[in-house]
Structures are given as structure tokens and as C-alpha cells.
Amino acid sequence: MQIQKPSCWLVIFIWSINVGFGAQLNCDIPIYCSGPILEKIQLARLFNDSKTFVDMPTKKPLEEVLEAGSKLPQNASISILQDFVNTYFSKEGQELIQTEIPNFNQSPSFLEKIKQPIIREFAKQVHNYWPNLTRKVDQSFMCSGCVSSFIPVNRSFVIPGGRFREIYYWDSYFVIEGLLVSELYEIAKNMIENFLDLIEIYGFVPTNDTLLLRKAFPTLLKEYDFWYKNNTISVHKNDKTFYLSHYDVYNIYPRPESYLEDYTTVELDSFNSTVKQGLYSDIATAAESGWDFSSRWARNPHIKPSTNSSSNNYEILRTLNTRAVIPIELNSILYMNEITLSEFAKQVDDWKTVKETVKRLKKSAEERLEGMIKLLWDDNTGTFRDYNLTSNTQSKIFSLATYFPFWAQSLPKEMLTDSKNNIKSFSIVSTLLSKYKGCPPVTLINSSLQWDFPNAWPPLTYAIIKGLLNSYHGYYSNSQNEEDPKFLNLALETSQRYVSSVMCAWYSTGGSIPGLLTKLQGTTDIGHMFEKYSALDTGVPGNGGEYQVQDGFGWTNGVLLWIMSKFGDKLEVPECINK
């Protein structure tokens, strides 16, 4: 059977699926959700990473583990707890095994367009790394009654890498972008179908894209309706009511995978029970956003960590106000999905049954767009800003989320066709590229949180480049800014900066190319692709947050290959390699 390229619309829609489902799944296994066993193990700090324990499946049936756990002393020693874990739990991540990618194409056509041999061979190495990140679920080793925190899926998929062993949030969007460039259409479809299964039991194997769209439409509409019903909020301003969306998760416990960190944030202060519950919800809500954590969500974004603090800034986390923020990127994504679902409806067999749904979606998109312009757009700076419901004003924090509307095309026609205005919006990118050696930083606030300065993240660099390319080509046939070279030049400059950052970090950690690039003297590793990079210098991994910087890495590789497919004939070998 010939595998066709998935519809670009379905790939776009996968983003909102990722953002939505993770925080809403019910957790019904007391070992991994809340309770005395989880609390004892996590607060004892048996592992450097809180996620390790909740990724460990049991060796024995759940009831037996719970019974043994109930007999643990209240103040059990480290050795007793370690013996308990060794006896009743298997190694983390055992349910996932590396697997082959079906119909793997070792020489996709985009490689032919890359001018520089070193860059071409580097891209080929990254392309050929996909099998190292591909997994399938195998729980055959587990006993009857044994349990795991992992939610099984039916098909193979690509993981981000490092501690991130599962399908993750918005990571998958950028992974799929890379898989499409790599012409690995079957595994890309697998990932999309896995997400549809996770929304509701929807096991099907389509034979072509039209069938996939028809079958997916009810599920995607159900997911969108969930978001609209549970995350829409009305804002009354200047005698007008606007309807926009915010992240909103109800939670009263520490996150299992970050139990110690959340416990430290909430419980080691003098908060009353009401404040504690609210803070746990704001923490979980920030995690739902994918930006965990950022000064964007804080009441006081300028609090510095204490001198005896770890890299996690607990002081600023105690001021989280996430649910009261109307974020730019979420509304951009949902606007795109409202338009996308309207297009999906054309593939449904009975148009009459969805006609009213399409009207509703288009009306919601129009209302959302009006709200974004009236509440989120700052005409003075030419940027979008989050809206704070507590102060009923725009946030003063600049973040790269401002470029999501340009990527998602969630702008009114008069703004889309205003070349001068759009150049003003992207002038900040030019300034940041001139000021720093790496890619643009996520915000300008150095809070020590990982979604703040000086970290530069691949998905945000992608949003900038995509927005610039959209502005370059113009969204409408009579656009005044169509084919404006300023947009293309800045997109190329940003792309070159990204490629240089990624390649230099890979080279400095032992990357080499037989016959073209000798391994750097003194390095013994094989080169790493990191999840985030520093804006301060070229080829330096990012830092901060709850865990050490991870390598692999799904979205880094996906964005890199996407950039190669767009600018392969113009990219130059970075100076770190040309020295």
C-alpha cells in the first residue's frame, strides 16, 4: 500500500490536541497520582528527577504493592524505601522499546537542495537519527494486575528524547514537521492516529487522507468543543464583551512527575489551604501550557531566586497567576483550528449535518479575532501581549508568543496586508539577533525559569520564521507586502542563526562527519541535539528549570530539518566549524 502525505490541516490541528489532552486525563492509580506511597518516595529524594519514580511500572500486582506500602513506617529510612522500590518496581520506561520506522527513506529529496556538503551530511545524520527516537509499547513483561503510569497507544511513535519518553504536548507538531520533510509519512500518520485514539477510542487505519479527515472530524470537533466549553472566558471592556480562551486546570496536589518541586513551592510556605489549592492549580495550568515555567504567568515576574535556592526559582513560582492570563499563542492556535475545522467539514459526506457547525466555528473565529485585536494587540509597539484578568490590562512582558498570530494567520486582513506594520512587529527580532549571538530569547526577563531569558527554544524560533515566511508570501492575492524581501531576509538570518546554534552545540559535544569534519580534539561523545539553547552564545545549551537540559531531541531535529527544506541552498557552514 502506498502511504500518502498526511493533510497539512490535520498536522496543524495536532497542536491543539497535544496542548489539551494531557492535563485532563483522570489518574486512577493511587501509586502514581497521590497518596502515601508517592509522598514518601518523592519527599525522600530517592531519585535526582521526580519523574523517574512515576515512570516505573510495578513488578507485582497493584493490591500487593499497596498492601506492602501501607506497612512502611511513617518515618521510613532511605534504605527501607529504596528496598521497597527495588522489590516492587521495575526500571523506568520499560514499557517502551525502540522499534524500526516503517518504509524508512534514507535519502529524502530535501537533502539534494542543500548546497554546502557539511550541512548536507549533518542534515542526513539528523534525518537518520529518527529511528533512535522511535518507540512502540510492549507491556508483555508485566504481570497480571501489574500497573504503570504509561497510557498505551496502538502504533509506533517518535518521542522527544531524554527524560521525555512519552508522546508530549506540542512537541509532536514539530516532530511531525520534521517527519514530513524526511518523507516518513507512515510514522507521521501513526502519531496523528494515536492522538485521535487518546481523545476517544477511535481505532482505524485509513487508506487515504480523505477517509482520515472524514473519520477524524467528529473526534476533533469533540476536542475543540471541550476547549471552547471549559476554557473560554468573557472579558467586558469599553462596553463590549469579548470571548477568548485561557489555560485552566483544577488541581489540589503536587504533580506526580514533579512532586518534590511542587511540594517545596506550595507546602514550604505559610499559605492557607485556599491559597495552596489555587497555587497547585496555577502550577498545573502552567504545565498544560507547555511553558512551564515562565515569568509570563507570575504576579511578580521580577523576583530573583534566593542565594541558597536551586536552579528552580520557588519564590517566583509562589506568585503564579496562570489561570488569570489570556495567552497569545493559545488563542492563535484555537483561531487556526476554528478555521481548519471549517475546512475539514467540506470532507464530510453529509454537508447538511455540519452546515450549522461550520457557521458556529466561523462565528467563534470572528469573535476570537476581534478579542485578540482589542485586548492583546499593542499598537504602540506593534506586538501582541498577554492579557491579565487580575489587573484587567495587557501584560508588560514581551515574549516570543507575539509571533504566533503571524504564524497562525490570526490577523485581520488590514493588518496582514500592512507591510510597514508587520516590519515594525518583526523589528524586535532583528534587534535581538544583533544583540545576542544565539537565537532570540523567549523573554527579556532573567528569572532562572526555563521559559525565560536567556533560553532560546526551537518551537518559538519556528514560529518566528513561519510568521516571516507568511508575511513574505502574503496571505491574500492582492497583498501589499507580497514578496517583500525584508521578511525573507530576516527569515533566512533567523534560520542561519538556528542552524549555527544547533550545529555548533553538536560539534562541541563530539559531532563529526567522516571525510568532511573531524571530531573536535578532546571530545569523546558523538554530538548532542539539545531541547533548548542559550541566546547569549552560539552552540551553548540552555539551562534553568526543574531538570537538566535534555538531548535527543524531537522538536529540535524537526525544526532543523524543516529549515533545511526551506533554505538549504542558502545556508552557510557556521564559524565554529570553519575556524
387-388 and 533-534 beta bridge pairing:
unpaired
Active site residue 288: no
For residue 240, what is the enclosing H or E element?
A: strand 240-245
Which residues neighbour 239 within 8 Å (Cβ) at sequence distance 6 or greater?
none
Direct distance between the N- and C-terminal alpha carbons of the chain, in angstroms, rounded to an integer: 49
With beta carbons less than 8 A apart as the criterion, state whether 294 and 443 touch: yes
Residue 200: how many other CB atoms lie within 10 Å:
10
Sign of the C-alpha dihedral computed for residues 135, 137, 139 and 145 taken in this order: positive
Q: Is 292 a catalytic residue?
A: yes
Helix axes of 185-199 and 8-21: crossing angle, nearest 10 degrees: 40
Task: Give the Å distances, CA to CA, from 69 to 81, 147, 217, 578.
Answer: 9, 15, 45, 59
For residues 571 and 496, the answer to whether their CB atoms sit within 8 Å is yes
How far is the C-alpha of 439 from the C-alpha of 419, rounded, in Å?
Answer: 24
User: Among 168, 174, 170, 91, which Cα is nearest to 135's?
Assistant: 168
Residue ranges of E strands in 19-107: 96-98
- Among the listed residues 95, 209, 257, 292, the single catalytic one is 292
The residue ranges of DSSP E strands in 118-174, in sequence order, are 134-137, 157-158
Give CA torsion, residues 242, 246, 251, 253, to 10 deg: -140
The single residue of 209, 531, 546, 551 carrying the catalytic annotation is: 531
Q: Residue 354, SS3? A: helix
User: 175 vs 2, 98, 111, 534, CA distance in Å?
Assistant: 22, 17, 18, 21
Q: Which three cell numbers stand for residue 526?
A: 558523538
**Nine-digit cell at 436?**
545576542
Q: Which residue from 395, 453, 386, 464 is spatially nearest to 430, judged by alpha carbons?
A: 464
**Residue pair 251/284 in contact by the 8 Å Cβ criterion:** yes
Q: Which long-range contacts (CB under 8 A, 24 or more apart) does 347-355 make?
A: 347/210, 347/213, 347/214, 347/217, 348/214, 348/217, 349/214, 354/217
Q: Which of 19, 28, 29, 18 is nearest to 58 (CA)?
A: 29
**78's grid cell:** 532511605
Residue 100: its H or E element: none
Which residues belong to the active site? 292, 531
